[in-house]
Structure 1
Amino acid sequence: RHLLDDPQAVEAAIWFHDAIYDSRAKDNEAKSAELAEKKLAGRASPHRIARIAAMINATATHQLPPLRDEGALNDAALLLDMDLAILGAEPAVFDAYEKAVRLEYGWVEEPMWRAGRSAVLKSFLARPHIFYTTEFRLRFEAKA
Structure 2
Amino acid sequence: DNEAQSAALAEKKLAGRTDPSRLDRISAMIVATATHQVPPFDGATATRDASLFLDMDLSILGAAPDAFDAYERAVRREYHWVEELMWRAGRSAVLKSFLARPHIFHTQEFRQRFEPQARENIARSLAALANG
User: With structure 1 as the length reference, what TM-score do the two structures score?
Assistant: 0.79
Alignment match, 2:17: 43
What whole-Å deviation, never above 9, does each CA across 1:14-71 have from its counterpart, x for those lacking one?
A: xxxxxxxxxxxxx221121122112111110111101100100100111111111110
Equivalent position of 2:108 in the other structure: 134
Q: For structure 1, which runs of at least 5 residues remain unmatched after alignment?
A: 1-26
Structure with greater helix share of residues? 2
Task: Give the counterpart of 1:69 among 43, 46, 58.
Answer: 43
Aligned to 1:7: none
- Let me know the Cα RMSD of the aligned residues: 0.8
Higher deviation after alignment, 114-123 or 30-39? 30-39
> How far apart in 2 are the matches of 1:49 and 1:57?
12
Shift of 1:74: 0.5
Instruction: Report the identity percentage.
Output: 73
Q: Does 1:31 align with 2:1?
A: no
Q: Does 1:60 align with 2:34?
A: yes
Distance 1:32 1:96 in 2: 23
Gaps of at least 5 residues in structure 2 are 119-132
Instruction: Name the counterpart of 2:129.
Output: none
Count, aligned residues: 118
Q: Which runs of 4+ in 1 moved over 2 A?
A: none
Correspondence 1:125 to 2:99: yes
Give the letter for the 2:95 counterpart.
L
Alignment TM-score, normalising by the size of structure 2: 0.86
- Residue number in structure 1 paired with 2:71: 97
1:121 Cα deviation from its structure 2 partner = 0.5
SS in 1 for 2:117: coil
Q: What amino acid maps onto 2:25 in structure 1? A: R
